[in-house]
């Protein structure tokens, strides 16, 4: 799966939990990083050739294994397109109502990223992100940003970590106040972490519930993959998340009927 998609799934999952009632100011217990499947010789052999006239050649983002011609500023981009060039990021258009949906459809735009403040960079020590911030894991050439991954051991923060553990327990108690989708989302995150610890590179597919801000299910749910292939999609009831008969293997670009929301 494309790194951008992986980042968005994790960010969306934690944003959904943090935006839920009672959790806005609470930290989230750290999650283990999800690692991409390795680039086997068979996968590399299937990579298409890059046009010789391409100005910048980059490796596919995230879990991709092939090289691709980088997109330029202003080009349309998305989760399943070639990566944007150096100094550019694929972002939703300003005011986009459904940013993740737009990126999955290739409706983003390659946008320049602001240059960091040089003075601030020189005066700021290179410290790891806080235990509530994102952490970058470089695994076989792929960097996956995972919210909530902790700092290395530091005796000065033992007390803070103990406090965080207590708050984490309080979060679990408050899960009963959340909607059904948010509760399943929390459980899914824990299962994914445990599954990858056991399966390692053999784990190439996983499912994270797609929730709305009220904690109910969005009618279209999709499986995620770490092998560069699109996962399966299906339609569900927005109230209980149960699969609608006949909606299995829904094409990724097909929407579920709106009446399923009611």
| pLDDT tens digits, 228-237 | 677 788 999 9
| Structure-token pair, residue 33 | 């990083």
d(CA 156, CA 152): 11
* Residue 54 pLDDT > 90: yes
Using left for φ > 0, alpha for ψ between -120 and 50, and beta otherwise, residue 34 falls in: beta
User: Which residue, 165, 169, 166, 171, is CA-closest to 150?
Assistant: 165
Instruction: Name the average pLDDT for the chain.
Output: 70
The confidence score (pLDDT) of residue 152 equals: 47
State the sign of the Cα–Cα–Cα–Cα dihedral 146, 73, 76, 84: negative
Instruction: Supply the pTM of this predicted model.
Output: 0.41
* Residue 83 pLDDT > 60: yes
The confidence score (pLDDT) of residue 253 equals: 73
Is residue 189 exposed (0-12), middle (13-18) or buried (19+ Cβ within 10 Å)? buried
Strands (E), 140-258: 142-147, 205-207, 220-225, 233-235
* Residue 213 pLDDT > 60: yes
Better pLDDT: 183 or 124: 183
The confidence score (pLDDT) of residue 111 equals: 94
DSSP string for 21-86? TT-TTS-----PPPPPPP--HHHHHTPPPPPTT-S-EEEPSTT--SEEEPBPTT-EE-TTSPPB-T
Three-class DSSP category at 221:
strand
Per-residue pLDDT, averaged over 243-260, amounts to 78
Domain ranges of the chain: 3-115+129-257
Better pLDDT: 187 or 169: 187
Contact 96, 76 (CB under 8 A): no
Q: Give whichever of 17-26, 60-69, 215-224 has the largest mean pLDDT.
A: 215-224
d(CA 36, CA 204): 8
Lowest mean pLDDT, pick from 8-12, 47-51, 52-56: 8-12
CB atoms near residue 94 (< 10 Å):
7
- Going by pLDDT thresholds of 50, 70 and 90, the confidence category of residue 21 is very low
The confidence score (pLDDT) of residue 110 equals: 94
């Amino acid at each position: 799966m494309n790194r951008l998609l992986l980042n968005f799934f994790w960010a969306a999952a934690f944003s959904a939990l943090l935006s839920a009632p009672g959790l806005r100011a609470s930290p989230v217990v750290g999650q283990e990083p999800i690692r991409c499947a390795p680039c086997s010789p068979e996968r590399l052999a299937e990579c298409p050739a890059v046009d010789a006239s391409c100005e910048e050649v980059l490796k596919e983002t995230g879990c991709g294994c092939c090289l691709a011609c980088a997109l330029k500023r202003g080009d349309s981009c998305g989760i399943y397109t070639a990566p944007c060039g150096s100094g550019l990021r694929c972002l939703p258009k300003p005011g986009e109502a459904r940013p993740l949906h737009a990126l999955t459809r290739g409706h983003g735009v390659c946008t320049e990223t602001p240059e960091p403040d040089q003075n601030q960079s020189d005066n700021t020590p290179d410290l790891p992100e806080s235990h509530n911030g994102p952490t970058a894991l470089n695994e076989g050439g792929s960097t996956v940003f995972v919210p909530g991954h902790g700092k290395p051991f530091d005796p000065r923060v033992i007390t803070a970590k103990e406090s965080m553990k207590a708050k984490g327990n309080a979060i679990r108690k408050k899960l009963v106040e959340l909607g059904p989708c948010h509760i399943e989302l929390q459980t899914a995150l824990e299962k994914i972490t445990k599954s990858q610890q056991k399966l390692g590179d053999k784990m190439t597919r996983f499912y994270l519930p797609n929730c709305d801000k009220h904690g109910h299910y969005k009618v279209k749910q999709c499986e995620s993959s770490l092998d560069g292939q699109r996962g399966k999609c299906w339609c569900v009831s927005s109230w209980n998340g149960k699969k609608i008969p006949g909606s299995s293997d829904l094409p990724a670009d097909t929407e579920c009927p709106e009446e399923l929301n009611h």
